[in-house]
């Protein structure tokens, strides 16, 4: 499952932070997940909890914030949200975008000029925004070493 692969990637990134920062235990992890990923949150939670067993991540509270997908047409400059065009996508198209968000260009068009040439302004990918550790230290994305 796609969610397991993403959970493994987040787990690996946090394990790297744990080693580099000499963290003994994580108490809370804040993640941001782009809407375009279309992740099943429950499956992601389950996978992450399973991977975290008997590690410094075991028992950490996971807080997930979804980031709305925003697109911008390179032809006419129109910006729009995924919700505006999502109902036009079939199940197979939505599933394809779930696994490979870059394929959205094959299925989504600008609602103003019908161009497939657009950029994803935000709402794709997954980020670790913050990790709280038991020793009261906090790691924030982009923090200096």
- Rounded to two decimals, the pTM is 0.78
Q: Where are the alpha helices (DSSP H) in 1-80?
A: 2-21, 41-52
Residue by residue, pLDDT tens for the chain (145 residues) are 589 999 999 999 999 999 988 889 999 999 999 998 889 999 999 999 999 999 999 999 999 999 999 999 999 999 999 988 888 887 888 888 777 878 888 899 999 999 999 999 999 889 999 999 876 456 667 654 4
Burial 61-100 (b: 16+ CB within 10 A, else e): ebebeebebbbebeeeeeebebeebeeebeeebeebbbee
Contact present, 31 and 10 (Cβ < 8 Å):
yes
Q: Where do the domains of the chain lie, and which CATH numbers do they carry?
A: 1-68+123-145 (3.30.2320.50), 69-122 (no CATH)
Beta-strand pair 61-67/26-34:
parallel
């Amino acid at each position: 499952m796609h969610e397991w692969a993403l959970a493994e990637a987040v787990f690996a990134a946090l394990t790297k932070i744990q080693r580099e920062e000499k963290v003994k235990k994580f108490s809370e992890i804040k993640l941001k997940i782009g809407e375009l990923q279309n992740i099943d949150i429950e499956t992601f939670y389950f996978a992450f909890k399973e991977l975290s067993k008997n590690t410094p991540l075991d028992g950490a509270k996971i807080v997930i914030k979804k980031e709305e997908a925003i697109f911008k047409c390179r032809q006419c400059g129109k910006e729009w949200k995924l919700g505006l065009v999502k109902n036009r996508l079939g199940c197979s198209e939505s599933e394809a975008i779930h696994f490979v968000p870059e394929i959205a260009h094959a299925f989504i068009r600008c609602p103003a000029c019908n161009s497939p040439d657009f950029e994803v302004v935000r709402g794709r990918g997954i980020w670790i925004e913050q990790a709280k550790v038991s020793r009261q230290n906090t790691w924030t994305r982009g923090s200096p070493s």
